[in-house]
C-alpha cells in the first residue's frame, strides 16, 4: 500500500460516512504495530466505534489493545472532555472570585460549543504535547465524517485567529485572560498539520460519485489550510470476476468503474490505493489483519447458497406516516448508511400522494439536491447552510442587540460574533425554525451523521433547560423544540442502518442516546440489504448470509417496527428511482 510507505508521525483518515475510515485506520495501526512501531490510535468521532471494531471497550483513556503488542487506543469522549475542561477552567477561580462570577463562567461553559471545543482541545494536545505522545512513533487519527472533520481541522486556524484578534473578555473557551497556553497550543497544532514531514492525510472514498465528489471537496478545503500531503484510498471495490455471474454484481461493478473514470481531476493527481470488497464483516483482529492483505476471498460453503429475505418494505412505513397528514419525520444514523437517499424517497412518496412536504437537511456535507435531481409538485427542498445561517444570525444580533450599543460596545459584540461557536447557535436556530413548520405539513429531515446530530440535540436540550428554568417558576405555557421531538404525535424518528455488525451496534447506541433524551425512535430501516436483493454472485451471497443474523437482531431486539430496502442495480438518484425505493416490493413468481 502506497499510503503506508514512509509513514510520518501523524496519519489522519477522513472521508464521507460509511466509506470504511475506522476499519482502515485500525488495520493501519495494527500493521504499523506489527512492524515494531509503537502506535497510538485515536478516534475523534463523537460516535466512535473503534472499541466495537476491536471487540472490546476503550473509552476516554489511553488503553492497550490486547493481542497487539505496542498498540494503544483512545476514544475522545466529548462529554468527558467537556467536564474536564470545565473543571480545569473553573477550579482555580472557585473560592477566589465572587460566586456570581463563577456561576457566570459555568453558564458560559454549559453549551454544546464548549463540548466541541473541549474535544478539540484534547485533539490539539495530541498534536503538540510531547508529555502525552513521546512514547509513540505514530499517532493514527480515525476522524468523524467529513463535515465534522473539516471543521475540527480548521478550528486550530480559526481559534488562533480569534485569540490573536480577540478584544472581548470571555467566550465558551472560558475567560480569555490567561489563555496563553491555548494560543501557543493552537499555533503549534497549525504548524504540525501543515508539516508534510510530520502529517499525512488519507482520504477514504467508495467508488461512488457522491463519495468521490466529497473527497475532492475535502482535498481542496484541507489543502487550503496547509494539509498538502494527501493520499487517496478507494475502499470496497467489487472484484471484476463477480460481475460475470450476477446482474446485480455486474451493475455494481459497472457503476464503480464509471465513477472511477469520472473521478475529479484533483483526486486523480493524488497517490492512490484500491482495497477490494471483502466477504466478511470487518470486526475483530482476524478480519482487520486481512483488510490490507491481497488474498483470494475465502467464501466457505455459504458462498454458493441462495438467500431470500422477506421483510416489511419502506412502503409499509410510508403508509403509516401519511395517515397523520402532517408531522416531523427525522432520519438518523451513522454516516454512509443512506439517510439522505431514504429521506428523499420518503419525501417524494408523500408528495406523490398530494401531501405538502418540506424536505431539508442539517448535514453540512449533504448531497440532497444531487440525490433528488429534479422537482415535483407539493415538494419544497432546503438545506441548513452553516455559513449562510451564521451570517444571518450575526446580522440579526447586530440589528437588535447592537442597535443600542456605543461604538466600543458594538465592536466588542462584532468580535464576539466572530467566534467559531456562533455557528452552533445559528444552526440550532435554523433547525428550530424549520421544525415548527411540521404543525401544518410534513417536514422530512435528513440529519447529519450521528455524532454531529447528537451535538445538535444537545444544543436543543440546553435551550429547553434554559427556557424551563426561566418560565416554569412563572407558570407560563411554552413549547420548545425538544418537547416537539419528544412528542410521538408530532415527530417520527427513523433510525437507518446497514445489516452489518458494527452499523447495527452503532444504531442501537444511537437509540439508547435518543431514549436518554426522552425521544423514542418510531422505526428502523435496514438500507441496501444484499439479502433482500437475492444476489447470485458468490461473494455477495456470502455477504447476504452474514446479514441474516443482524436483521434478526433488529427485528427481535431493537425495533418496534422495521423495513428492509434492497440493494438496487441502479443508483437511487432522481425522483423516478426514489419513488421505486418507496414502492411495495413484488415477490418473484
Q: Which of 447, 502, 529, 537 is catalytic?
A: 502
Q: For 529-539, write each residue's pLDDT tens digit.
A: 999 999 999 99
User: Which range, 19-23, 254-258, 368-372, 390-394, is most confident?
Assistant: 254-258
| C-alpha closest to that of 360 among 349, 377, 372 | 372
d(CA 260, CA 428): 37
Contact 447, 339 (CB under 8 A): yes
Helix (H) or strand (E) holding 504, with range, is helix 501-516
Is residue 374 among the annotated active site residues? no
CA angle in degrees (0–180, nearest 5) for 199-153-396 = 165
User: What percentage of the chain exceeds 70 in pLDDT?
Assistant: 83
Estimate the crossing angle of helix 209-224 against helix 146-165, to 10 degrees: 20
Q: Which of 15, 17, 20, 147 is catalytic?
A: 20
Mean pLDDT of 235-254: 92
Q: Which of 14, 15, 16, 18 is catalytic?
A: 18
Is residue 20 among the annotated active site residues? yes
Please provide residue 140's backbone torsions phi and psi, each rounded to the nearest 5 degrees: -105, 120
d(CA 188, CA 305): 57
Q: For 111-146, write each residue's pLDDT tens digit.
A: 656 666 677 778 888 888 888 889 999 999 987 655
Q: Of 156 and 312, which is predicted with more confidence?
A: 312
Task: Count CA atoms closer than 13 A to 532's CA, side-chain side.
Answer: 23
Q: Which of 14, 15, 16, 22 is catalytic?
A: 22
Q: Residue 108 in 3-state DSSP?
A: helix
pLDDT band at 170 (very low <50, low <70, confident <90, very high): very low
Is residue 335 among the annotated active site residues? no
What is the bridge-based pairing of β-strands 523-529 and 379-381?
unpaired
Q: What is the pTM of this model?
A: 0.76
Q: Of 78 and 141, which is predicted with more confidence?
A: 141
Contact 43, 53 (CB under 8 A): no
C-beta pairs of 266-270 under 8 Å, 24+ apart in sequence: 266/216, 266/219, 266/220, 267/203, 267/205, 267/212, 267/215, 267/216, 267/219, 267/232, 270/203, 270/219, 270/230, 270/231, 270/232
Q: Residue 177 in 3-state DSSP?
A: coil
Is residue 341 among the annotated active site residues? no
CA distances from 3 to 36, 135, 204, 234, 272 (A): 18, 23, 11, 12, 8
Is residue 303 among the annotated active site residues? no
d(CA 201, CA 230): 5
User: What percentage of the chain exceeds 90 in pLDDT?
Assistant: 39
In the block, cell 428502523 appears at 524
Burial class (CB in 10 A: 0-12, 13-18, 19+), 550: buried
d(CA 162, CA 175): 13
Burial class (CB in 10 A: 0-12, 13-18, 19+), 265: exposed
Instruction: Identify each DSSP E strand in 439-561 by its residue range.
Output: 442-446, 491-497, 523-529
Mean pLDDT of 229-254: 93
Contact 304, 279 (CB under 8 A): no
Is residue 23 among the annotated active site residues? yes
Q: Which of 45, 121, 246, 416 is catalytic?
A: 45
Q: What is the pLDDT of residue 155?
A: 56
Average pLDDT, the chain: 83
Q: Residue 386 in 3-state DSSP?
A: helix
Ramachandran sector of residue 543 (left: φ over 0; alpha: ψ -120 to 50; beta: rest): alpha
Distance of CA 107 to the CA centre of its chain: 28
Is residue 21 among the annotated active site residues? yes
pLDDT band at 551 (very low <50, low <70, confident <90, very high): very high
Amino acid at each position: 500500500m502506497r499510503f503506508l510507505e514512509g509513514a510520518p508521525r501523524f496519519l489522519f483518515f477522513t472521508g464521507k460516512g460509511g466509506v470504511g475510515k475506522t476499519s482502515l485506520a485500525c488495520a493501519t495501526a495494527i500493521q504499523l504495530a506489527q512492524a515494531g512501531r509503537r502506535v497510538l490510535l485515536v478516534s475523534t468521532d463523537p460516535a466512535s466505534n473503534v472499541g466495537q471494531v476491536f471487540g472490546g471497550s476503550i473509552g476516554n483513556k489511553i488503553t492497550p489493545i490486547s493481542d497487539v503488542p505496542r498498540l494503544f487506543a483512545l476514544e475522545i469522549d466529548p462529554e468527558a472532555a467537556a467536564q474536564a475542561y470545565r473543571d480545569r477552567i473553573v477550579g482555580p477561580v472557585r473560592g477566589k472570585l465572587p460566586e456570581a462570577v463563577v456561576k457566570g463562567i459555568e453558564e458560559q461553559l454549559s453549551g454544546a460549543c464548549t463540548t466541541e471545543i473541549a474535544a478539540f482541545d484534547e485533539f490539539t494536545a495530541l498534536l503538540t504535547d510531547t508529555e502525552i505522545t513521546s512514547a509513540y512513533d505514530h499517532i493514527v487519527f480515525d476522524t468523524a465524517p467529513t463535515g465534522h472533520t473539516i471543521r475540527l481541522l480548521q478550528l486550530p486556524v480559526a481559534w488562533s485567529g480569534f485569540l490573536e484578534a480577540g478584544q472581548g473578555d470571555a467566550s465558551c473557551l472560558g475567560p480569555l485572560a490567561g489563555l496563553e497556553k491555548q494560543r501557543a497550543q493552537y499555533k503549534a497544532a497549525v504548524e504540525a498539520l501543515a508539516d508534510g514531514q510530520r502529517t499525512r492525510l488519507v482520504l477514504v472514498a467508495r467508488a461512488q460519485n457522491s463519495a468521490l465528489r466529497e473527497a475532492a471537496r475535502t482535498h481542496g478545503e484541507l489543502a487550503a489550510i496547509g494539509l498538502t500531503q494527501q493520499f487517496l484510498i478507494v475502499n470496497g471495490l467489487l472484484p471484476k470476476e463477480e460481475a460475470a455471474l450476477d446482474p446485480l454484481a455486474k451493475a455494481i461493478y459497472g457503476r464503480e468503474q464509471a465513477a472511477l473514470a469520472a473521478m475529479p481531476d484533483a483526486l486523480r493527481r493524488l497517490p492512490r490505493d484500491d482495497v477490494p470488497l471483502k466477504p466478511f464483516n470487518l470486526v475483530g483482529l482476524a478480519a482487520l489483519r486481512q483488510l490490507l492483505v491481497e488474498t483470494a476471498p475465502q467464501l466457505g460453503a455459504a458462498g454458493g447458497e441462495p438467500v431470500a429475505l422477506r421483510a416489511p418494505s419502506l412502503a409499509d412505513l410510508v403508509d403509516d406516516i401519511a395517515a397523520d397528514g402532517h408531522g416531523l419525520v427525522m432520519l438518523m444514523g451513522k454516516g454512509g448508511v443512506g439517510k439522505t437517499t431514504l429521506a428523499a424517497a420518503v419525501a417524494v412518496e408523500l408528495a406523490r400522494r398530494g401531501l405538502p412536504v418540506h424536505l431539508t437537511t442539517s448535514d453540512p456535507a449533504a448531497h440532497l439536491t444531487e440525490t433528488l435531481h429534479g422537482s415535483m409538485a407539493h415538494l419544497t427542498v432546503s438545506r441548513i447552510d452553516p455559513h449562510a445561517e451564521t451570517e444571518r444570525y450575526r446580522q440579526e444580533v447586530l440589528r437588535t442587540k447592537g442597535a443600542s450599543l456605543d461604538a466600543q460596545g458594538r465592536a466588542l459584540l462584532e468580535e464576539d460574533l466572530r467566534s467559531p461557536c456562533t455557528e452552533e447557535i445559528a444552526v440550532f436556530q435554523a433547525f428550530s425554525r424549520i421544525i415548527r413548520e411540521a404543525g401544518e405539513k410534513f417536514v422530512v429531515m435528513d440529519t447529519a451523521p450521528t455524532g454531529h446530530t447528537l451535538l445538535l440535540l444537545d444544543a436543543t436540550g440546553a435551550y429547553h433547560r434554559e427556557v424551563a428554568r426561566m418560565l416554569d417558576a412563572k407558570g407560563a405555557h411554552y413549547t420548545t423544540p425538544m418537547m416537539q421531538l419528544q412528542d410521538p404525535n408530532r415527530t417520527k424518528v427513523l433510525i437507518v442502518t446497514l445489516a452489518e455488525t458494527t452499523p447495527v451496534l452503532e444504531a442501537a447506541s444511537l437509540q439508547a442516546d435518543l431514549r436518554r433524551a426522552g425521544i423514542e425512535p418510531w422505526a428502523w430501516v435496514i438500507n441496501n440489504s444484499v439479502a433482500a436483493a437475492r444476489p447470485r454472485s458468490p461473494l455477495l451471497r456470502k455477504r447476504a448470509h452474514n446479514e441474516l443474523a443482524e436483521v434478526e437482531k433488529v427485528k427481535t431486539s431493537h425495533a418496534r417496527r422495521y423495513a428492509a430496502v434492497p440493494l438496487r442495480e441502479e443508483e437511487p438518484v432522481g425522483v423516478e428511482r426514489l419513488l421505486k425505493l418507496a414502492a411495495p416490493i413484488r415477490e418473484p413468481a
